[in-house]
Structure 1
Amino acid sequence: MTKQIHTLCLFFLGIFICQAQYSEEDWAERDIWMNTSKLMEYSGIASGNRVADIGCHEGYLTMHLSQQVGENGRVYAVDVRSDRLETLRENAADRNRKNIITILGDYDDPKLPEDELDIVFIFDTYHEMDAHEKMLRLVKKSLKVGGKIILMEKLKDRVRGKSRADQVYAHSLSPGYVRKELQEAGFTIISEIEDHGDWERDSSKQMWLILAEKRS
């Protein structure tokens, strides 16, 4: 399958930032290199759950979550760009998925309902959050007691051991920083996967996962 990537280029503070946006044509390939079935199993997601996908883009993960929670569940798909959410709604309609609610969030607020969610997924998005401390507090508010947050990021070899700022600038992040921030936000770490495979099959970009819980 030919890989099709839409690229968004922004001019910000004198710097061009280019971010790949995965189109629907890439989803089947992504299932393989991201080992998405294992991710679903690891998260503990179940039928009837209410979950959120923060940084949902065009809905790749959202569609998987929608299938997992079933008709009695609910998926809140959050992004800061309305065009992405519009495409996600089209993708959901094509699949007759009626359990998805789209939310146009802010960069410092996902605008999720409080005390409702079983799991919040933040995949390859946390490193983009400048207001990550506030975001974690708001995510914690959205979770039920016993609810979970699962984060997946990639760590690039060239920024291993570098400062958080250096890693973020490279669109990367190490689990050590995130583990500390989750604990400071009041989450309890349940488990970690240090090596979930290679992002886009690039051996210099190692995926990792952290699963944490709201206990009070």
Structure 2
Amino acid sequence: MAHKFDPANLTRLESPERLELLPIDKVIALLEVRTGERVLDAGCGTGIFAVPLARTVGESGRVFAVDLSVEMVEACRQRVAREGVSNVEVIQSEENSIPVPSASVDLAFACHLLHELEDPAKFLAEVRRVLVPTGRLAAIEWEKVETGVGPPLEHRLTPGDSRAILEKSNFTVTDARRVTWANYLLLARPA
């Protein structure tokens, strides 16, 4: 069974220790998001990436921030309101059903999500559905090393594990980058 993040621990998502291992500005830069793009923030949590993504795509762009958890969706809505961004749509979803129109997303961003999925193939098929034909997927995962924060070691995926999951689901990995010693990023496109 996949490891699901407990919403009761949502304040841990923004702890100084975690943010040191996953610097928001560095992640946004690595994603190479462009003005006017439409971005899916899958597993958006508290909106820690949704708001900076919204600012990066600008008013001509849009961010669809989706999460399974009612608590996370509410926390994200509060952040969006507090930060005053108007181009974020916060949506509660099911794991394998993303309530976003087909071929409407330029970038699907999944931070620390692959290791939580019950059926990665079903989720990634849904990601392919919402991506435009030239769309891309950016997946960040924890390195399989002890970090002091994050999921238990036995639930983490190596870069090879994550690559295999993406390739099995008809994505071609186009780049692999280190975010910090504790996190890596895979960029992929539908095959």
Give the alignment's TM-score, normalised by structure 1.
0.75
Give the conservation status (yes or no) of the 8 Å contact 1:150–1:210. Answer: yes
Give the conservation status (yes or no) of the 8 Å contact 2:138–2:187. Answer: yes
Helix, strand or coil: the match of 2:10?
strand
User: Counterparts of 2:37 and 2:18 in 1: how far apart (Å)?
Assistant: 24
1:22-171 matches, cutoff 5 A:
22=11, 26=14, 31-157=19-145, 170-171=154-155
Give, in angstroms, the shift of residue 151 of structure 1: 0.4
The CA RMSD measured in Å over matched residues stands at 2.5
Match of 1:181 in 2: 165
Give, in angstroms, the shift of residue 30 of structure 1: 5.2
User: Counterparts of 1:49 and 1:29 in 2: how far apart (Å)?
Assistant: 31
Give the conservation status (yes or no) of the 8 Å contact 2:40–2:108. Answer: yes
State the AA in 1 paired with 2:75.
T
State the AA in 1 paired with 2:77.
R
Give, in angstroms, the shift of residue 36 of structure 1: 2.4
Helix, strand or coil: the match of 1:183?
helix
State the AA in 2 paired with 1:22.
T
User: Counterparts of 2:23 and 2:74 in 1: how far apart (Å)?
Assistant: 27
Give unmatched runs, 5+ long, in structure 2.
Answer: none
Give the conservation status (yes or no) of the 8 Å contact 1:117–1:143. Answer: yes
Give 1 or 2 for the bigger CA radius of gyration: 1
Give the conservation status (yes or no) of the 8 Å contact 2:12–2:18. Answer: no
Match of 1:196 in 2: 179
Match of 1:3 in 2: none
Helix, strand or coil: the match of 2:106?
strand
Change (3 A) 1:36 1:82: same
State the AA in 2 paired with 1:214.
P
Helix, strand or coil: the match of 1:181?
helix
Give, in angstroms, the shift of residue 81 of structure 1: 1.3
Give the alignment's TM-score, normalised by structure 2.
0.85
Give, in angstroms, the shift of residue 60 of structure 1: 0.5
Helix, strand or coil: the match of 2:49?
helix
Give, in angstroms, the shift of residue 18 of structure 1: 5.4
State the AA in 1 paired with 2:11.
Y
Helix, strand or coil: the match of 2:96?
coil
Change (3 A) 1:31 1:169: closer
Deviations 1:30-76 (A, max 9, x none): 55431322222221201111001111111101111111111111100
User: Counterparts of 1:180 and 1:130 in 2: how far apart (Å)?
Assistant: 16
User: Counterparts of 2:168 and 2:37 in 1: how far apart (Å)?
Assistant: 26
Give, in angstroms, the shift of residue 78 of structure 1: 0.6
